[in-house]
Amino acid sequence: MNVTGCVLRVAATWAAVATCPAVAAAAFPVPTSLGAVQAFGGNTSTPQVATNSKGDTLVAWQTGGGDQRDRVWSAYRPAGQKFGPATELSPESEAVSEPHVAIDADGNALVAFTRAAQAGQIDTVAVAAVSSDGKPAPAIDLAIALPDKTYPGGGPPQPAFDGNGDAAVAWISRDLTSTRSDPDFERVQIAVRPRGGNFAPAQQFAVAAGGSKQGVSNVRTAGGRNIVVAWSNGARIETVVRPRGTSFSPVRSVRAADPYGPEVAQSVDGSAVVVWRDSLPSVPSRGRRTRISAATIASSGAIAGPVPVSGTDTYQDSLGVAVGPRGASVVTWTANVAKSRVARGAYARVPQRFAAPFNVSAAGRNADTPATAFDSLGHPIIVWYRGGTFGPRRSRSSIQARYGSRAGIFAKAIQVSPVSRDALYAGLAVDGANRATVTWIGRDPRLGETVQAITTLTSTLRG
């Protein structure tokens, strides 16, 4: 999740942390439909949203699947204005990945994804620049992939900006020409573009044999004062930091247990928090066990930790993390609880001191895609997707939110999306004026799926 001065995906509330109250009603603006209707039979990816302190905002998403061609779209909103029309960023592609986005303090943005010119071809890493007037440039390839060279894998490429406006895009490549016994040789690549310049050739930061249990996977970036990049590599979480306007630090690592993730978020002082899921040995009577862990990354690149964030008694997934302007942090994830999927959270007022986890959503209805962020006053916010029910007493799926105090006490959950149609897969970004943009996929039984967005003051999320 990558924004300058803010962190993506937030939700929280004022109720006691240990409780999970019923959903309250609240009045919100009519959602804006960002266009690019996805007909039934295909899929719309979770919208990715980024904003800067002024309120310039970019949303990007993928459509396709089934017998429909994959496409990447974006919609841009200058501060104080309305979203412009959805623009296709991948007109010549036959297969694209879910896009990821970042925006700098001046409103210049990047959309990064992988694409293949023809079905069946190996992907390339592509980046489309969107200027501060909202006009996208044609996507360019950062890594030209040929069958006998490297190709990107391990998830979509991840963009970020630093405080100077320098940009970086990180991804994982696999080298088919390696002389090692295992040809599926993996590495992390990061390409940097100085402010006003062009992308330089990618630098290599990690190497692992693909035959290991995990290999190199799940690279993530965090923009802000600096650029922070994190990934998993076998039994380690590895990170590098690029202080603004300089070069990357050496790779630092912290030991983990067969990790999945990570996710990373940066504080205003350039330090960061990285979280991941450890996979623990199964217990016959309890099944698969996991644990959420965290470490702090200094602006110099040094790592402290890890510390446990959650217990170890259930399967946990869908991580998110945000760091506030006063150093507090919130971690979100989903967990299997009482035969349903519940959104959970943990709050730390000071680094590495997480309070006991709490249920963000109520049990009994599946929850997914929890996203979290802080406003400029230090209040945490969490948003998530709440599943619907079927049968005679059918209820629609919806987007829920909770707003928190600086002490980590959350208010009741409120419904952000309209009650008149299904809503799926939440995203969140907060600007410097404490305006939250919440995005989701709206599903109309006649038309199909569209990406929806509302912008509201964070204080209205108290309910």
Question: For residue 411, how far is the Cα from the chain centroid?
Answer: 24
Q: For residue 225, give the DSSP letter.
A: S
Q: What distance in Å separates the CA atoms of residue 31 and residue 399, rounded to the nearest whole number?
A: 12
- On the question of pLDDT at 183 being above 50, the answer is no
Give the model's pLDDT for residue 393.
63
Give pLDDT, residue 187: 82
Q: What is the pLDDT of residues 278-312, one digit of tens each?
A: 988 877 766 678 999 999 999 999 999 899 999 98
Please determine, for residue 71, whether its predicted confidence score (pLDDT) is greater than 90: no
SS3 content of the chain, % helix, strand, coil (to 5): 0, 55, 45
Tens digit of each residue's pLDDT (9 = 90 or more) over 11-57: 332 233 333 445 555 567 788 888 756 655 567 888 999 999 999 99
Contacts 24+ apart (CB under 8 A), 343-347: 343/367, 343/368, 343/370, 343/382, 343/384, 344/310, 344/316, 344/370, 345/12, 345/370, 345/372, 345/382, 345/410, 346/292, 346/309, 346/310, 347/17, 347/380, 347/404, 347/408
The pTM assigned to this predicted structure is 0.89
pLDDT for residue 225 is more than 90: yes
Which structure tokens are listed for 9? Answer: 């995906």
Query: What is the domain class of 32-462 according to CATH?
Result: mainly beta
For the segment 109-135, the average pLDDT, to the nearest whole number, is: 84
If one compares 174 and 48, the residue with the highest pLDDT of the two is 48
Residue 38: the pLDDT is 64
Which residues fall within 8 angstroms of residue 34, CB to CB, at 6 or more apart?
47, 59, 73, 75, 83, 86, 450, 451, 452, 453
N-terminal to C-terminal alpha carbon distance within the chain: 26
Both structure tokens of 414: 């409120």
Residues 415 and 440 sit within 8 Å (Cβ to Cβ): no
Mode of pairing for the β-strands spanning 448-457 and 435-444 = antiparallel
- Decide if 221 contacts 160 (C-beta within 8 A): yes
Q: Where are the domains of the chain?
A: 32-462
Which of 106-120, 209-223, 291-305 shows the lowest per-residue confidence on average (mean pLDDT)? 209-223
Q: Find all residues with CB under 8 Å of 54, minimum gap 6, and list them.
A: 79, 105, 107, 431, 432
Separation CA 1–CA 101 (nearest Å): 8
pLDDT(202) > 70: yes
74 DSSP β-pair partners: 60, 87
Is 377 a residue whose pLDDT tops 50?
yes
When pLDDT is averaged across residues 204-225 and rounded to a whole number, the result is: 74
pLDDT per residue as tens digits for the range 340-364: 899 999 999 988 899 999 999 988 8
Q: Shortest CA distance to 197 belongs to which of 167, 156, 162, 153?
A: 167
Q: Which of 19-28, 116-125, 408-417 has the highest mean pLDDT?
A: 408-417
Find the mean pLDDT for residues 375-387.
96
Give the pLDDT band of residue 195 (cuts 50, 70, 90): very high
